[in-house]
RNA sequence: GCGCACGUAGCUCAGUGGAUAGAGCGCUGCCCUCCGAAGGCAGAGGUCGCAGGUUCGAAUCCCGCCGUGCGCGCCA
């Protein structure tokens, strides 16, 4: 269909390929046909004719090419071309959905090897809601990228080196000794729990406790991620960079490339020449390297592992870090376009309109585990990925808890379970295929088919824009379209060809819904 | 002060330069002798922050202003 319109547009414009900007879209208003195209308005300047004449030309060519698959093509408004398609075309479209193994997969124009780093919560405490959003987003993005045809590696960067984990170890040591944690330590009750869970903790040094504590903390975070349905492929230790010469080599690379200079006893990276506001310190005058320096070594390591693209998913408070890291990446010899930091905005956790405290230091925070216990992993993931990652969002705990049965996630899952139930009742083989003669269709059937065949475009767009939240909307739309079909069309007990066609439609809808839910990391129950 | 985001229905938020700007929640009123009512139907509710510009056409792109958030360290 799209090709036919493109070809007709190209011909009228006298060009080889369809001009940029030609779009085939689903009109919101049913009076505007099954599909509409702006092709004539785009081509008019090229063809040096007014849009309505151009539209007439395209319409004639389409009628020629599509034959009886096309019912009508009318020119409307400033030059829109409104197209109506026959039931035979709809039958063919549904057959196409059913005929593919993994409908909508492999749509990425150029498959890449992509490393996605998230949520990289510090191993000094449990995951809170911000990490939860990061994980829900990151994992769904990975699933979509993979489905679209990319090769994906999920990587967790553990900050198990430096000041923060030292304070963490000191805090455990203090609790193990029965004294108060230091002023700059971690206050949460979980520190107590960790201290108690380590046999002989009282006799261990802060450094030993730090290592054991980090190990325990990472295991806990891994368990939380598993409960969320997130499986990390690579757990990367910051400390490991310092255990061989990888750190020194990365710095040496920068030095050889001439990006480093010394000033005031410190070592600087000339990031200002690569898009940053000012130069940044790599080694302080006291001899210590900065966190930035280690991060550069980490990204050099990732780069050398042969990925086509690195995606880092960072919290909102890191957006000031983007320019300097891109500059460093370029200084290492990387193409800045293949390094893609994505910023996750904040989640404001509220309860009865009141802001819930999330400070790790004070220990008063709601953990992801608490939330899963409260509202379930499905609802949590759906909620967290429902909003665009670039929007600050509110999550009202009381609402999520008390009204969980009105959560949109149940609406989509319900449609899936209901289709399943209908297919069981129909009792005929779900792989029977469509009847050879397509029965006359109800408008709800056409609407549902139109929605289902959007799926590949939806996947491509979601992957390209790194916006998995689109799929929560798409899933609701499919569910709503199915509900309309369910209202208008009986499946069981109709004439053989009608039932057979509708069973096929149900199978297709179920498979698209199940796939959509899976990409969101949400279960697709057969019964609820 | 500088930089980066964000201002869309009562609330939370979608919206790819296209036709009459949408969804969920909340509100009002209906629908189960009917394959699942966790559902459906109808309704009320909008100066898309303000003011200019770009063009056949702007919530969308550009400039300015107002508001909110975040970041501006030889911290991590």
| Tens-digit pLDDT profile for residues A480-491 | 999 999 999 999
- Identify the CA nearest to A380 among candidates A188, A143, A134: A134
Q: Which nucleotide is nearest to A279 (CA to C1')?
A: B74
Query: Structure tokens of A139?
Result: 């994992």
Structural domains of chain A, count = 2
Domain presence at residue A430: yes
Token output for A137: 């987003």
Protein CA A78 to sugar C1' B60 (Å): 20
What pLDDT sits at residue A90?
A: 94
**pLDDT at res. A396:** 82
Question: Rounded to whole angstroms, what are the CA distances from A347 to A131, A323, A390?
Answer: 10, 24, 11
- Whether pLDDT at A119 is above 50: yes
CA distance to A339, A504, A505, per residue, from A98 (Å): 38, 8, 9
The Cα–Cα gap between A167 and A173 comes to 10
pLDDT > 70 fraction of chain A, expressed in percent and rounded: 94
In the listed set A55, A85, A115, which residue is the last one of a domain according to the structure?
A: A85
- Tell me the residue range of the domain where A492 lies: 407-520
Retrieve residue A166's tokens.
């030292």
Dmax (CA) of chain A: 89
- The confidence band for A263, taking pLDDT boundaries of 50, 70 and 90, is very high
> Residue A476 pLDDT > 80, yes or no?
yes
pLDDT at A380: 93
Nucleotide minimizing C1' to CA distance for residue A81: B19
E runs forming strands in A379-422: 393-396
Confidence of residue A360 (pLDDT cuts 50, 70, 90): very low
Q: φ and ψ at A124, to 5 degrees?
A: -120, 5
CB atoms within 10 A of CB A32: 19
In a domain, A64, yes or no: yes
Instruction: Say if residue A250's pLDDT is above 70.
Output: yes
Rg (CA), chain A: 28
A149 in a domain, yes or no?
A: no
Going by C-alpha positions, the residue among A265, A352, A270, A341 that lies closest to residue A302 is A341
Is A439 within a domain? Answer: yes
Mean of all residue pLDDT scores within chain A: 90
Residue A160 (CA) to nucleotide B3 (C1'), in angstroms, measures: 31
Is A346 within a domain? no
Q: Is A115 helix (H, G, I), strand (E, B) or coil?
A: strand
- pLDDT over 80 at A235, yes or no: yes
Among A32-46, A87-101, A409-423, the range scoring the smallest mean pLDDT is: A32-46
pLDDT at residue number A53: 79
pLDDT at A78: 72
Task: Note the ipTM here.
Answer: 0.95
What integer is the mean pLDDT of A2-23?
A: 68
Res. A528: pLDDT tops 70:
yes
Residue range A371-392: mean pLDDT, rounded: 93
- CA dist A499 and A433 (Å) reads 11
Most confident option among A11-20, A133-142, A429-438: A133-142
Note whether A413 and A523 are within 8 A (CB).
yes
A415 CA vs B36 C1’ separation (Å): 9
List the A520 CA – B50 C1' distance (angstroms): 39
- Inside any domain, residue A413: yes
Last residue of one domain, picked from the residues A19, A52, A85: A85
Task: Look up the CATH number of the domain holding residue A35.
Answer: 3.30.1360.70
Of A40, A57, A85, the one marking the end of a domain is A85
Query: What distances in angstroms separate CA A316 from CA A62, A228, A292, A344, A389, one per listed residue?
Result: 49, 22, 17, 5, 10
Nearest residue to nucleotide B14, by CA–C1' distance, is A473
In this complex, the nucleotide whose C1' atom is nearest to the CA atom of residue A489 is B35
In a domain, A459, yes or no: yes
Instruction: Tell me which of A187 and A105 has the higher pLDDT.
Output: A105
- Judged by DSSP in three states, A276 sits in coil
The token pair at A188 is 């949460």
Give the full edge-to-edge strand order of the sheet including A260-263.
A260-263, A266-269, A280-283
Q: Residue A455's domain is classified under what CATH number?
A: 1.10.730.10
Q: How far is the CA of A125 from the C1' of B21 (A)?
A: 44
Element (H, E) at A25: strand A24-25
Q: Quick one: which residue's CA is nearest to B22's C1'?
A: A28
Q: Does A492 reside within a domain?
A: yes
Measured to protein CB atoms, the chain B nucleotides within 7 Å are 3-7, 12-16, 18-26, 34-36, 38-41, 56, 69-76
The confidence score (pLDDT) of residue A2 equals 67
Q: Please choose, from the candidates A170, A164, A118, A157, the residue with its C-alpha nearest in 3D space to the C-alpha of residue A141.
A: A118
| Distance of A395 CA from B50 C1′ (whole Å) | 30
List the one residue out of A446, A30, A54 whose CA is nearest residue A62.
Answer: A54
Residue A247 corresponds to which tokens in the numbers above? 């750190």
Distant-in-sequence contacts of A425-431, Cβ < 8 A, 24+ apart: A425/A491, A425/A492, A426/A491, A426/A492, A426/A499, A426/A503, A426/A506, A428/A499, A428/A500, A428/A503, A430/A503, A430/A507, A431/A507
Mean pLDDT along residues A19-26: 71
User: Of all nucleotides in the shown strands, which has a C1' nearest the CA of A37?
Assistant: B18
* CA to C1' distance (Å), from A226 to B25: 30
The number of CA neighbours under 13 Å toward the Cβ of A322 is: 16
């Amino acid at each position: 269909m799209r090709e036919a319109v493109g070809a007709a547009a190209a011909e009228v414009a006298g060009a080889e390929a369809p001009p940029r900007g030609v779009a085939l879209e689903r009109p919101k208003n049913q009076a505007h046909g099954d599909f509409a195209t702006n092709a004539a308005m785009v081509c008019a300047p090229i063809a040096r004719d007014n849009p309505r004449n151009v539209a007439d030309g395209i319409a004639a060519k389409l009628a020629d090419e599509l034959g009886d698959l096309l019912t009508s093509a009318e020119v409307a408004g400033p030059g829109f071309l409104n197209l109506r398609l026959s039931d035979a075309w709809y039958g063919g479209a549904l057959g196409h959905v059913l005929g593919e193994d993994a409908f909508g997969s492999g749509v990425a124009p150029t498959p890449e090897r992509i490393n996605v780093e998230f949520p990289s919560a510090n191993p000094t405490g449990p995951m809170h809601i911000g990490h939860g959003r990061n994980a829900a987003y990151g994992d769904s993005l990975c699933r979509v990228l993979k489905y679209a045809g990319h090769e994906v590696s999920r990587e967790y960067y553990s900050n198990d080196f430096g000041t923060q984990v030292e304070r963490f170890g000191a805090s455990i040591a203090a609790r193990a000794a029965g004294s108060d944690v230091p002023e700059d330590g971690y206050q949460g009750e979980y520190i107590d729990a960790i201290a108690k869970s380590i046999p002989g903790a009282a006799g261990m040094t802060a450094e030993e406790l730090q290592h054991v504590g980090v190990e325990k903390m990472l295991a806990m975070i891994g368990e939380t991620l598993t409960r969320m349905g997130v499986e990390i492929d690579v757990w990367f230790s910051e400390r490991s960079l310092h255990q061989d010469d990888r750190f020194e080599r990365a710095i040496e690379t920068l030095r050889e490339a001439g990006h480093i200079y010394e000033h005031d006893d410190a070592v600087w990276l000339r990031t200002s020449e690569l898009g940053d506001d000012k130069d940044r310190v790599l080694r302080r005058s006291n001899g210590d390297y900065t966190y930035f320096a280690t991060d550069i070594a980490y990204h050099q390591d990732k780069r050398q592992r042969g990925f086509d693209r690195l995606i880092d998913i960072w919290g909102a408070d890191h957006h000031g870090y983007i320019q300097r890291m891109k500059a460093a990446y370029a200084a290492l010899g990387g193409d800045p376009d293949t390094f893609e930091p994505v910023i996750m905005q904040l989640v404001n956790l509220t309860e009865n309109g009141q802001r819930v405290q999330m400070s790790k230091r004070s220990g008063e925070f709601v953990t992801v585990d608490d939330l899963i216990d409260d509202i379930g992993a499905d609802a949590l993931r759906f909620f967290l990925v429902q909003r665009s990652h670039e929007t600050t969002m509110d999550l009202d705990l009381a609402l999520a808890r008390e009204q969980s049965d009105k959560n949109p996630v149940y609406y989509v899952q319900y449609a899936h379970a209901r289709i399943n139930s209908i297919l069981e009742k129909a009792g005929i083989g779900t792989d029977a295929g469509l009847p050879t003669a397509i029965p006359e269709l109800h408008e709800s059937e056409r609407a549902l088919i139109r929605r289902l065949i959007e799926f590949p475009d939806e996947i491509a767009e979601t992957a390209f824009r790194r916006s998995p939240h689109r799929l929560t909307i798409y899933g609701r739309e499919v569910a709503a379209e199915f509900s309309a079909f369910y209202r208008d069309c009986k499946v069981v007990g109709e004439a053989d060809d009608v039932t057979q066609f509708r069973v096929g439609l149900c199978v297709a809808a179920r498979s698209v819904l199940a796939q959509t839910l899976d990409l969101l990391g949400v279960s697709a129950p057969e019964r609820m």
